[in-house]
């Protein structure tokens, strides 16, 4: 039977699972009720129907993820009062087990962070675990973390309640209609097609779950989620087990456990998984199960059941295998697709779709209705993905590994090993020969540190100090005291040229970038609300000819923004792989490079922020006097085919100047001592540049740039109140022993006022150092307020004295970079 569709709707949501239903519900609550949900079969028929139904908030050091889960949990507890349909939410509590020192360290850090964000969580002893969940073997456990407000929910009931809530506000939901295409005109959504029918719309939301990649590919939208087998079993009835028993998780045994129908559900996240239907999910796959691979799963299942021995003593009622989809980095694919206005995505939930659905629906609805998200989405934005991640071999290998990391310990230094070696620097072989310890950097291979010429680097993940810290320190000190050579070829590089290029970049940039040729401008790109969309440099090479350089993680976002605002006469070329970026940094860098070029590099002729094409080591190189490390230094943009020769020449000439190859660990420690910002880590799309300490980079006297009015209004308000209520500050521990990583709580006079967003060890400053956003309740963050308090940082539950500063603790006047 053909279902007659309406001629138009303001928004069409494709997919009637828990995510699509939540997006529709929240759009309606935001006042956008002209919404149509199209489900190819029946609501929940994809993966929602077989979800395990955990509603757990514990485990994340992301403020966004934690906020999404807390909102979801609250919504599920009150939704029945609104719709009359129960969600099945039962706050029975969660116990997370720690079986080894690494997990205990991680969970203590997580617990401190999430308490600050409003999650009630208590560390409990093995004896207390046994009291609350007596079925588990606890003799080898170190501790547990109990979250009384967490629990379980019925995924189907939840979806139906969200759908009813949406319908009550005017949303139309039609089942049995498969969307076959999205219609676009001039780079914008204009409708959807279902068979021979077309529905006009302004916005489409791809909520098609494990089908999202296939739908997105039709218009070049990169959503590299891939289905994989996911297992759980349900035992026969267990005496004494009732629905009020808490959820128990032991990631080291690969298992989660909860009551189901009087028996025990044992769910698995095995360390070695299996992708399913890499060639594509069948369009008619509904309420489907997969044949289980007993041989592969047997050892993992045995380990999981051994944690709760009673599961081995009773019969198994159900052994279930069904598909769940995963992204390459285990973060969701959310936001507006690059290059297509009005095409939004909410997919790739990585087995946490049910517990994220409420909050994610709210975030996306706000994004759609206002034009921007109100939470940090730098790690979730769909524009972060690369086209090569769609390749079948990549998806197959990466998915098999990344599902296994769901329950892996997140010890610093852990990295993925599958699908590696895809993007290589032009000097990659030299990095390997020098003993570079390689890690993945947005698909590239980057050297973290160097073991030495001909040496094989080795590193074991750890929360503490490692043997390779010695190499890291030497590289750090080489840049501070002599000179270092660093390969950053993975940085995103765009040539913007043609008529209107200067006008375009000046409109995008909060700084003044279209002045004299040969000048580098450090600037931010803002949105209409005056908050940061990108943090980058713009180099004017000639009239209407520019080089834009951004971080690797911002590649897709910056390119999408350039293309969105560019006119027909401006050309944007992605030259990331065309040019190597070699950094020569340190007080002896000028002496070294003077041996390789006849160009006058004196400060009088070539001052800080100068750039120009020069002959260097026999190659034509764009030489930029700029630093991200806090010393006199230069960036060399070298044609890829000539990069190895230039690298070798620099290395040879540097021998007499104390040159060392320098890796990304030193990059982190050097920039952190100087308090240089890194978008997506310590600043994000929720920050105003005034709060982030970037007011110096604003050209507020420019007549027109995106976000100018909002920043001016905020600056006026700050002046009236003596400053902003929140500021990004540098934090340094006074004790040299503890290490900082991310998400450590910052306290003033014993009260939490923020947390560390990014950190490293400061070898020059002599202790761990980080950047933290702190907030003052009923007041402003001033230097006097900072100086008037006693500061501490909570590291895994232990408080350590600290100092804080609005200015860089290393070279606060910037004298060293201008010599």
Average pLDDT over residues 571-575: 98
Q: What is the pLDDT of residue 792?
A: 98
Exposure letters 604-632 (e unless 16+ CB within 10 A, then b): eebeebbbbebebbebebbbbbbbbbbbb
Phi, psi angles (nearest 5°) of residue 419 = 50, 45
Q: What is the pLDDT of residue 259?
A: 97
Q: Return the closest-CA partner of residue 662 out of 434, 415, 413, 420.
A: 434
Centroid of chain to Cα 679: 11
What is the domain class of 1-91+149-225+327-385 according to CATH?
alpha beta
Which residues are 610's β-sheet partners?
519
How buried is 499 (Cβ within 10 angstroms: 0-12 exposed, 13-18 middle, 19+ buried)?
A: middle
pLDDT in tens, 105-119: 999 999 999 999 999
Contact 168, 89 (CB under 8 A): no
For 58, residues 6+ apart whose C-beta sits below 8 A from its C-beta are 94, 96, 110, 111, 114, 119, 121, 145, 147, 150
pLDDT band at 1 (very low <50, low <70, confident <90, very high): low
Task: Count Cβ atoms below 10 Å from residue 291 Cβ, excluding itself.
Answer: 7
For 216, residues 6+ apart whose C-beta sits below 8 A from its C-beta are 206, 222, 223, 337, 345
The number of residues in the chain equals 819
Query: Which run of H or of E encompasses 620?
Result: strand 619-624
Contact 351, 13 (CB under 8 A): no
In the chain, which residues fall in CATH 2.40.30.110?
Answer: 722-819
Q: Which CATH number fits domain 492-575+688-721: 3.30.210.10, 3.40.50.970, 3.30.70.270, 3.30.70.1400?
A: 3.30.70.1400
pLDDT in tens, 66-95: 999 999 999 999 999 999 999 999 999 999
Contact 68, 356 (CB under 8 A): yes
pLDDT in tens, 243-280: 999 999 999 999 999 999 999 999 999 999 999 999 99
Query: Which run of H or of E encompasses 25?
Result: helix 18-29
Average pLDDT over residues 471-492: 98
Q: Which CATH number fits domain 722-819: 3.30.230.70, 2.40.30.110, 2.60.40.790, 3.40.50.720?
A: 2.40.30.110
pLDDT in tens, 271-330: 999 999 999 999 999 999 999 998 999 999 999 999 999 999 999 999 999 999 999 999
Contact 686, 375 (CB under 8 A): yes
In this predicted structure, the answer to whether residue 223 has a pLDDT above a threshold of 80 is yes
Contact 97, 129 (CB under 8 A): yes
Which residues are 639's β-sheet partners?
579
In this predicted structure, the answer to whether residue 721 has a pLDDT above a threshold of 90 is no
For 298, residues 6+ apart whose C-beta sits below 8 A from its C-beta are none
Token pair, residue 226, equals 């891939």
145: Cα within 13 Å, side-chain hemisphere: 27
In the chain, which residues fall in CATH 3.50.50.60?
Answer: 1-91+149-225+327-385
pLDDT band at 448 (very low <50, low <70, confident <90, very high): very high
pLDDT in tens, 582-613: 999 999 999 999 999 999 999 999 999 999 99
Q: What is the pLDDT of residue 129?
A: 98
Instruction: Give CA–CA dist 615/588, Å, rounded.
Output: 20
Phi, psi angles (nearest 5°) of residue 577 = -85, -10
Residue whose pair of structure tokens reads 């044992």 in the numeric block: 266
Instruction: Give CA–CA dist 19/23, Å, rounded.
Output: 6
Instruction: Give CA–CA dist 675/669, Å, rounded.
Output: 10
Centroid of chain to Cα 404: 19
Instruction: Give CA–CA dist 181/194, Å, rounded.
Output: 7
Token pair, residue 147, equals 């979250």
**Local structure of residue 121 (DSSP, 8 states):** -
Instruction: Give CA–CA dist 545/540, Å, rounded.
Output: 6
280: Cα within 13 Å, side-chain hemisphere: 7
Residue whose pair of structure tokens reads 């590239």 in the numeric block: 444
Contact 140, 104 (CB under 8 A): no
In this predicted structure, the answer to whether residue 2 has a pLDDT above a threshold of 80 is no
Q: Return the closest-CA partner of residue 57 out of 181, 151, 173.
A: 151
Strands 188-194 and 94-98: unpaired
Q: What is the pLDDT of residue 3?
A: 86
pLDDT in tens, 498-510: 999 999 999 999 9
pLDDT in tens, 87-105: 999 999 999 999 999 999 9
CA distances from 159 to 24, 89, 173, 198 (A): 11, 12, 12, 26
723: left (phi over 0), alpha (psi -120 to 50) or beta: left
Which residues are 729's β-sheet partners?
772
Q: What is the pLDDT of residue 723?
A: 87
Residue whose pair of structure tokens reads 């069948």 in the numeric block: 282
In the chain, which residues fall in CATH 3.30.70.1400?
Answer: 492-575+688-721
Average pLDDT over residues 471-500: 98
Average of per-residue pLDDT values in the chain = 97
Residue whose pair of structure tokens reads 């902003």 in the numeric block: 724
Q: What is the pLDDT of residue 294?
A: 85
């Amino acid at each position: 039977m053909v279902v007659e569709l309406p001629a138009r709707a303001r928004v069409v949501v494709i997919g009637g699972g828990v995510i699509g239903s939540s997006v529709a519900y929240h759009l309606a609550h935001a006042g956008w009720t002209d919404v149509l949900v199209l489900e190819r079969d029946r609501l929940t028929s994809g993966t929602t129907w077989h979800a395990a139904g955990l509603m757990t908030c514990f485990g994340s050091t992301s403020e966004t993820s934690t906020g999404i889960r807390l909102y979801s949990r609250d919504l599920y507890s009150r939704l029945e009062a609104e719709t009359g349909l129960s969600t099945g939410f039962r706050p029975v509590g969660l116990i997370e087990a720690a079986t080894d020192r690494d997990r205990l360290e991680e969970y203590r850090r997580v617990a401190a962070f999430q308490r600050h964000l409003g999650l009630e969580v208590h560390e409990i002893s093995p004896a207390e675990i046994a009291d609350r969940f007596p079925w588990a073997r606890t003799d080898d456990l170190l501790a547990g973390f109990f979250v009384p407000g967490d629990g379980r929910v019925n995924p189907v009931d939840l979806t139906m309640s969200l759908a009813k809530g949406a319908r009550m506000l005017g949303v139309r939901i039609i089942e049995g209609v498969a969307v076959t295409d999205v219609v676009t005109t001039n780079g914008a959504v204009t409708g959807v097609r279902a068979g021979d029918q077309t529905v006009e719309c302004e916005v489409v939301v791809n909520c098609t779950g494990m089908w999202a990649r296939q739908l997105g590919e039709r218009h070049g939208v990169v959503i590299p989620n891939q289905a994989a087998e996911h297992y759980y079993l349900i035992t026969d009835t267990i005496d004494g087990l009732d629905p009020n028993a808490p959820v128990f998780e032991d990631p080291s045994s690969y298992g989660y456990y909860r009551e189901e129908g009087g028996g025990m559900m044992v769910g698995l996240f095995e360390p070695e998984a299996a992708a399913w239907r890499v060639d594509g999910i069948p369009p008619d796959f509904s309420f489907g199960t997969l044949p289980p691979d007993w041989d592969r799963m047997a050892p993992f299942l045995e380990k999981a059941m051994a944690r709760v021995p009673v599961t081995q003593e009773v019969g198994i009622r159900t052994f279930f295998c069904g598909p769940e989809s995963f992204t390459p980095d285990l973060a969701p694919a959310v936001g507006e697709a690059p290059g297509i206005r009005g095409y939004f995505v909410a997919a790739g939930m990585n087995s946490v779709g049910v517990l994220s659905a409420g909050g994610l629906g709210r975030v996306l609805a706000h994004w759609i209705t206002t034009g921007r998200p109100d939470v940090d989405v730098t790690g979730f934005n769909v524009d972060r993905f690369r086209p090569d991640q769609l390749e079948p071999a990549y998806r197959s290998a990466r998915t098999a590994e990344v599902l296994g990391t769901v329950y892996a310990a997140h010890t610093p230094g852990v990295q993925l090993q599958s699908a590696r070696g895809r993007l290589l620097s032009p000097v990659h072989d030299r990095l390997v020969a020098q003993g570079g310890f390689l890690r993945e950097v947005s698909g590239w291979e980057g050297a973290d540190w160097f073991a030495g010429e001909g040496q094989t680097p080795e590193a074991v993940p750890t929360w503490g100090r490692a043997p390779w810290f010695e190499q890291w320190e030497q590289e750090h000190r080489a840049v501070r005291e002599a000179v270092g050579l660093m390969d950053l070829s993975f940085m995103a590089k765009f040539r913007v040229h043609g008529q209107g290029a200067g006008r375009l970049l000046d409109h995008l940039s909060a700084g003044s970038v279209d002045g004299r040729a040969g000048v580098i401008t450090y600037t931010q790109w803002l949105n209409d609300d005056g908050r940061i969309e990108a943090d980058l440099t713009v180099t004017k090479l000639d009239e209407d000819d520019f080089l834009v350089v951004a971080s690797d993680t911002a590649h897709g976002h910056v390119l999408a923004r350039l293309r969105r605002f560019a006119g027909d006469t401006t050309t944007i070329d992605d030259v990331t792989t065309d040019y190597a970026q070699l950094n020569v940094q340190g007080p002896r860098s000028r002496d070294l490079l003077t041996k390789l070029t006849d160009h006058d590099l004196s400060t009088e002729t070539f001052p800080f922020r100068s750039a120009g094409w020069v002959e260097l080591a026999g190659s034509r190189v764009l030489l930029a006097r700029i630093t991200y490390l806090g010393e006199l230094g230069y960036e060399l943009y070298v044609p890829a085919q000539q990069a190895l020769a230039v690298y070798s020449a620099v290395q040879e000439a540097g021998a007499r100047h104390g040159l060392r190859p320098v890796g990304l660990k030193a990059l982190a420690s050097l920039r952190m001592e100087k308090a240089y910002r890194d978008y997506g880590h310590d600043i994000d799309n929720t920050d105003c540049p005034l709060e982030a300490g970037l007011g110096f980079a604003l050209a507020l006297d420019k007549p027109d740039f995106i976000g100018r009015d909002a920043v001016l209004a905020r600056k006026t308000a700050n002046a009236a109140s003596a400053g902003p209520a929140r500021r990004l500050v540098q934090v340094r521990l006074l004790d040299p022993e503890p290490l900082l990583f991310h998400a450590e709580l910052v306290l003033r006079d014993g009260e939490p006022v923020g947390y560390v967003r990014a950190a490293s060890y400061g070898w020059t400053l002599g202790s761990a150092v980080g950047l933290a956003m702190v907030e003052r309740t009923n007041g402003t963050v001033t230097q006097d307020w900072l100086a008037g308090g006693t500061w501490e940082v909570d590291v895994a539950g232990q408080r350590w004295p600290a100092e804080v500063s609005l200015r860089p603790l290393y070279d606060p006047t910037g004298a060293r970079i201008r010599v």
